[in-house]
Chains A and B, each alone.
Chain A
Amino acid sequence: MLSRVADSLYWMSRYLERAENTLRQLDVAMGLMLDTGAASPETRWKRLVASLGQDSGLDWNGDLESMAGKLVFDQINQAAVTFCINGARENARQVREEISSEQWQRLNRLFHYIHSPRAQTEFRSNIGDALATVLDGIHLFTGVSAATMIHGPGWQFIRLGRYLERAYATATLLEVYQSDLLQPQEREYAGYQYIEMVGLLRCCTSFEAYCQVYTADVSPDRVLEFLLLNQNFPHAIRFCVDSIRDAVEAIHRGGSRRPSDELTAGIGRLHAMLGFTSIGEILGGDPAAFLHTIREQCLRIHEIIYRYYVHYSIQSALAS
């Protein structure tokens, strides 16, 4: 497929995944702020902003509703939901002939909703419901995509974008939270620690799945193990990396070039980090550095994808 088209599908997918991530994390953070014992709202807000990775324009001003409003409706901050939905729709618009009409309609509807006065009104009257409406819109798009798009190279680039964004975002989230998680303050009550861990799981929509695997006995190392190493849960980083590998393999099966060694190595490295390590080893070492390495690897993989599929030089393409 055309490089430009692959690029647009990839970014459409990354933007939507990012929007979903922001929505979930905001929802969880706001819920946690109701329990003021463990940390001040300002601390929570700062942690939220750190885990989203885009702190510009989001300094705490004391008013939760206006801060949440910024995170949802701002069109400049790159983690803001509206910025992301704008980006997704703009990319989709460039490649309308590649996506089904149902996909376009869903995304377009979501775009118009979030720009409508109605969204603002609903946000002010019940934030939780408003966030859920937008989240539903994203899910509808994802579901319709899976059902109505041919699962060819275009589809695989969508998966690539989604799982790369998710792996990176989850690693960022864990890197920010891991110190609080693993070295809890002495004065904290066990109840607050429990809420924090459940909050972290909910950020990745994984509380119930966690319970299925480990029962409701929530402990920091198990939470990390689940979110890092579980092979079967879609929001675990290991699962994301496996999906990235599958998508790249599928893209190559449909083409005529041999796979990029660099890309294979990059993904392989990440896969090995997560596939052949135990949580004990990770916790015994430097968990922050481990998570940081994962993020770096994700960035490298993104860069290699660009160099190999999209922005390759003519000379190198003709030589191969």
Chain B
Amino acid sequence: MSASHPVELDTLYGEYPLDEAFDEMRQANGGVRAHYRALSDTLARLPEEELQRCKQSADLSFLTQGITFTVYGREEGTERIFPYDLLPRLITAPEWDRVERGLTQRITALNLFLRDVYSDAKILNDKVIPSELVYSCKHYRRQMRGLQVPRNVYIAVVGSDLLRLTTGEFVVLEDNLRVPSGVSYMLTNRRVMKRTFPQLFSSYGVRPIEHYPQLLLSTLRSLAPEGRPEPNIVLLTPGVFNSAYFEHTYLARQMGIDLVEGRDLVTHDNIVYMRTTDGLKRVDVIYRRVDDDFSDPLAFRADSSLGCAGLFNAYRAGNVTVTNAFGTGLADDKAIYTYVPKMIRYYLDEDPILPNVETYLLSEDNERRHVLANLDKLVVKAVGESGGYGMLIGPQSTAGQREEFARQIESNPRNYIAQPTLAFSRAPCLIGNHLEPRHVDLRPYILFGDKVNIVPGGLTRVALERGSLVVNSSQGGGSKDTWVLE
């Protein structure tokens, strides 16, 4: 077969194993799902060299757009493209509708939970959630008790991670309420895909996402303090050494707001100012991409140079809005996560549309015993971590690793939860010149200002290594464009 003939379907799907995990594109009998047919046909019709050319052109697109991460440490300082896969991940309109309703319900409940816990704590008094669980969470911030937050919106930007189980149903794996990242990759993936597969894109009718920066900006604006009609909105970044710095600059530029670091800010009389060549300029809304701990050396970690001294006092005085609010890490603690369905029932009197993943709370004796006896089958996670760190994947671990985790669990059970290893869904990826399935998750981005806005789709993260279940970018994961169909 010469390089200019289309790739044979067999070659295309050569080593494509199907098992219990839901395959996004293929049914159990090997047939292609209806909504993937156009994609599959296009791939089958493309000559092999054309497919490679598409890949190279996409690579170049990412490179010239600067969607790279620079290895600053090494002398060569090569700019590397953020790992991605060329093939879009498709979601049908009915599937998305359910996800959207489920996430709206969830973020509403989480916001109400935070407001409740940082004021009257009715949900704790009614013993729906154990008080110790809340107060022993290291991200619970006593400073937030009784503090009035604009529009009662504690979490304006949320990234919830969803998995699709063997039944095809979406479930929520975790909520990221502190500084969720990845939105810039979602936006740049879309730009590159439109350039690489323009006909396929238009023939499918994909719901747009490019307005995310506008939505984010209007969300931030809606949270400005009273009496500030032309609010000065800034994005607070830890700076160039932060791995998400590219995203911070990207979003700031797309929104047309200033990107500031802690050292640009000063507070005086409980008002936050930024230091400009034209004198001090008052700041009204801070979109915070710095963790609580590092935001204010007077209120939090004293050794932090990334924040602004006095920021919390200005916040408390209502002179500046900081979002997401401080102390929202409480609600993305993985132990608290297990109570989100209860929160939805308690605050909204509704059944959760999107279920949680079955989770063992290791602070509960009988659950802990069960988990310790079955470490080789379960995934254990530290409650406050993100990025795939502090995690044990039972079936892929060594006895030594399991022993170490058992010790850690025994010494601090509050700090861990366990979940069954899930065979979550896989999507086709272009590996060389053929397709292979890889595990994917979905991270939609939810905005909560004067109303809830969710851009269709979100970031599909891929575990690029064969068999791997870890999709986090910091651990070898990549991303795909997500197409929600009209």
Binding site for B on A (CB under 8 A): 1-4, 6, 93-94, 96-97, 101, 104, 108, 111-112, 115, 153, 157, 251, 254-257, 309-310, 312, 314, 317-318, 320
Contacts and interface: CB of A to CB of B under 8 A. Distances in A.
Contacts of A93: 240
A254 B276 CA distance: 12
B264 to A, nearest CB: 5
A97 B247 CA distance: 11
B75 interface: yes
A317 B279 contact: yes
A251 B277 contact: yes
Given A101-B66, A108-B77, A4 B240 contact: no
The winner among A1, A94, A256, A317 for most chain B CB atoms within 10 A is A317
A4 B279 contact: no
Contacts of A2: 258, 260, 264, 274-277
A257 B278 CA distance: 6
Contacts of A3: 264, 275-277
Contacts of B276: 1-3
Contacts, number: 60
A93 B240 CA distance: 8
A4 B261 contact: yes
B335 interface: no
A4 B253 contact: no
A258 B239 CA distance: 32
A115 B74 CA distance: 11
A153 B277 CA distance: 9
A46 to B, nearest CB: 33
Contacts of A108: 77
Given A108-B77, A115-B75, A1 B277 contact: yes
Given A1-B276, A3-B275, A318-B280, A96 B268 contact: no
Interface residues on B, range: 20 to 34
A4 B237 CA distance: 14
Contacts of B277: 1-3, 6, 153, 157, 251, 255, 309-310
A101 B62 CA distance: 13
Given A96-B249, A104-B66, 12 more contacts: A2-B274, A2-B275, A2-B276, A3-B275, A4-B263, A93-B240, A108-B77, A157-B277, A256-B278, A310-B275, A314-B268, A314-B280
A317 B280 contact: yes
B266 interface: yes
A312 B64 CA distance: 39
A158 to B, nearest CB: 13
B61 to A, nearest CB: 13
Contacts of A256: 278-279
Contacts of A96: 240, 249
A256 B276 CA distance: 11
15 contacts: A2-B275, A3-B275, A94-B239, A94-B240, A96-B249, A104-B66, A111-B77, A112-B76, A115-B75, A255-B279, A256-B278, A312-B279, A314-B266, A317-B280, A320-B279
B116 to A, nearest CB: 39
B90 interface: no
B223 interface: no
Interface of B: 64, 66, 75-77, 239-240, 249, 252-253, 258-261, 263-264, 266, 268, 273-280
Nearest to B248: A97
A152 B279 CA distance: 17
A257 B277 CA distance: 9
Nearest to B246: A96
Contacts of A317: 279-280
B167 to A, nearest CB: 45
The winner among A2, A94, A112, A251 for most chain B CB atoms within 10 A is A2
* The 8 A-B residue pairs with the shortest CB-CB distance in the complex, in nearest-first order: A255-B278, A97-B249, A309-B277, A3-B275, A317-B280, A6-B277, A317-B279, A2-B264
B65 to A, nearest CB: 8
A56 to B, nearest CB: 25
A104 B64 CA distance: 11
B256 to A, nearest CB: 12
Contacts of B64: 101
B279 A112 contact: no
A66 to B, nearest CB: 22
A90 B192 CA distance: 30
B117 to A, nearest CB: 36
A256 B281 CA distance: 11
B109 to A, nearest CB: 37
A111 B72 CA distance: 12
A312 B273 CA distance: 13
A115 B274 CA distance: 37
A317 B273 CA distance: 11
A256 B258 CA distance: 18
A115 B72 CA distance: 14
A97 B279 contact: no
A314 B64 CA distance: 41
Nearest to A90: B240
A96 B258 CA distance: 13
A82 B263 CA distance: 28
A6 B64 CA distance: 26
A288 to B, nearest CB: 36
B453 to A, nearest CB: 25
The winner among B75, B260, B263, B280 for most chain A CB atoms within 10 A is B280
Nearest to B76: A112
Given A3-B277, A115-B75, A318 B268 contact: yes
Contacts of B261: 4
Contact of B264 (A4, A97, A153, A254): A4
A256 to B, nearest CB: 6
Contacts of B278: 1, 254-257
A312 B275 CA distance: 9
